[in-house]
Chain A
């Protein structure tokens, strides 16, 4: 595995995270009415562009712009993870099919419905002709994007933009209890990271990413990844988890169900990674673990700070 240095991170969520640092201690638990706190998009896009852009696209492009501003060098690779993709435009196009009279059907929502609309539009916006990938593996879409980023570093690439992004849709409320969980509000969240080879001047790095596709229970998985990473679970300074029922986690001195703060969507582990980054950035020499077991598959992301920040 190849560690990934985090050069920059930003997110749009129901918390005050956009362009913020030092927010970890100010995070509030969400309630059923929580909605994403979006930036003033009018400052970033023309009204004619905004009219056509879905919430997921606005959030994704805004974060890509902010990442580009913070790290001027062009990205060698753009990698996006999204569990359900562009739901708003998918729903809109199905609605258009339903209401269609005659032969004419507007293509706009179809064009913007594909999962790789976000990564593709970022490449156009930044005039970036590099590697462009979109992963859609349910709750592990972001983790698969991180593994892809590691392979890109392994191939000699230097600056990688990785985003985990999913949007809310009213229909998800309709099918609650069946497809999605009952407890947490469905939310839009997007967290983007500029990653590079974790060399010595990095303060925060993604040390390793583990995935498990078996139906085994969570405790043996946590024990296995800690052993492989040579880490004592109880020595981890912050454990963020997706509301899992585990004796190990329950006994940990500082564990937190991140879904209480991110809300529910298939990319919430990306936002939890931004939370962990913010915590570590201000707490040098510490380690964080994100355990994502939102669906059957599970993952663990180890993040740490090595140097004095």
Chain B
């Protein structure tokens, strides 16, 4: 080293201590190493041992320090003193806050528990919050899944026992062709990026199906800039080509799916379209060895895909034949769909042929014997190395359920689900709908609900209707309007409660959802509903309790605020009973623990519920003597048992010899410490012989039982044909005693096809007058509204232009810095525009949830988020534009109730630049003041 070169300390001390916990800047739930200096958070990095992120961390995760120190953090319980929406509050003590809440809620429980609607947002403790709501006895509980991605989840469960993200993942290490449908970022954000990186390193091909070519789609080797809302048609065209060419995995279909199951073909039969079942209720197939009917799972049976049988005057044909009838129809030929989907026919054929080539000509084999549920042993695992992933781009449309189903059917006919190189489930999935609970609504005063709120229906009998046929739930979930609404409909709660339809409620209790802003459709309308008063001057929605950790837009609309801690200040558990964090080859769960103590008068919301539950005397929350059962959430996590031997956490449970590795076992008082010692998580690997074919693999089924995932082995076959949907159609055709209202018959008949179909939503959204689709995408560096309070992240995304494709840009003569008026059937906004060439020519889009209300988030009222940023939500309504039939139809999927965010159609025109984005809403008062001017953040010396 030359003598005048300065000496640099290349080995500075990094920190005093590393505390390992779980990130919660989004729902991906990566493991983090929190470096501490002087007892403060100094630096956050990824945990290399963690199954989810393997050491990497996204922008949000790395910015966690700006989140836990954000000036927008709520500081104490608040009681509203000004009018609703003003943001005027007074600080109160926790005792006062809990007394108020108890005084409001106890009488409801005594008389009519359904008067409480308890809805939680991106809650990661749903097995706990639902347990609380069940104890309270209200049928009105759900989390945010209904406006998020229930189409994807429900279509996956009904078809094959799981979908993407928490349910499963592509076999990133082996797949050779990967197709991504409608994903900007997704929940599994780091794993997807890690996976894409692996594909790129190997030179595997990535196909991006998305009207917008940004992010993941920007690195796709092939971009398919599809017309929004038409993926179902495109996928079924691929199915058409593959079936026509016989490029389908017949062996897989025959053995592992319901393709060979016999279906009643007699149009006049009340069971038309239902399965032929034996006396045990098992679906029947024809055994090719004997030519006779047999239960699908009989030992040694070789199901025939092609057979026909006549029994008692009724002809039964296989599901496969129905599929052939349907999908070989020329309406699905590439030439027939090309214009609608905006993809040339030759390209559709090219993609189909590539799928066929890679799946069959590049098949892979693993030398690993396994035994299937019929007792047959196979000496190899055969892989079809094509994999798919999809998210809200296909699910957040009103035809999303069927589109997601179509994608699953495509994967299945290629034989690429649960095989090497294809799609793999993550334990505790796969889990067919039958293994999930059914929804419950049995509410009685002073009583717990008769079962879990949410679940999977198997026919009209399972709908949640009152005796008079009216909806039992405030959100009208599990009714004829959306029978399979497995996650509820959070986006309908406020409007239904305001309309008193199906009934009035007293208290709306919400947690972690910014329902007066970015998670509501029709934002201005929602403000109206939340502040509307009746003839006595009382609020139409009488009471609103809300728990947030930050000064969000929603805070201003609540009467009582129960301030939460930040993610580094509380206990949490990411449980197998909930949305798990497992990987395809391992079962895992994790915790959060207070790596720092709050410096404010705030409490973890789950601990608050333990307290409130005890004050209300909820079953499960009090001891026999009426005393509080769980001192706090940590106590619950450790000591609660859902079923014998199964609690919130599966790691280090006890048996006679002390702590086990994990799985079933008794309560271990030191369980949380064990997690902390292990880096905040527990993982156990799936044995080699159980790695693939999980739904049918005896070794996997046995292992899953030993880990407490199920109570007994539950092998099943995939449902290409979803029989419960046919049951709803039968009802709509007039069969059975539970009958839909007449105005819904036609729609149920049309949409609830047991085999995937595609239908257009364009007319419903007035596409003739509003020809452009307007979309939103998640920015990778922001989490919905809550990223903005982060001083580092808001510099990256402080405003959001509307991106406009070249054609529309030129037609309107736009130039940089211009503004446009964007009109939908429902409303109008005026916003800045920017040019994007890599965009479907009839689509405009913007980043989601960047726009902010003045006064929220401890920002300056002139923050660019408020003056230039905007929400597209002003243009989206929870109801479709009137059709002239005197009815207002909900802007949701008719099967699941999923909010159809991406069906939005608009018109666009150049506008004179206003002084700020329109509509400009008046500021709300900040209950936390405003953040400091400058930051020179450094902890320790």
A binds B: no
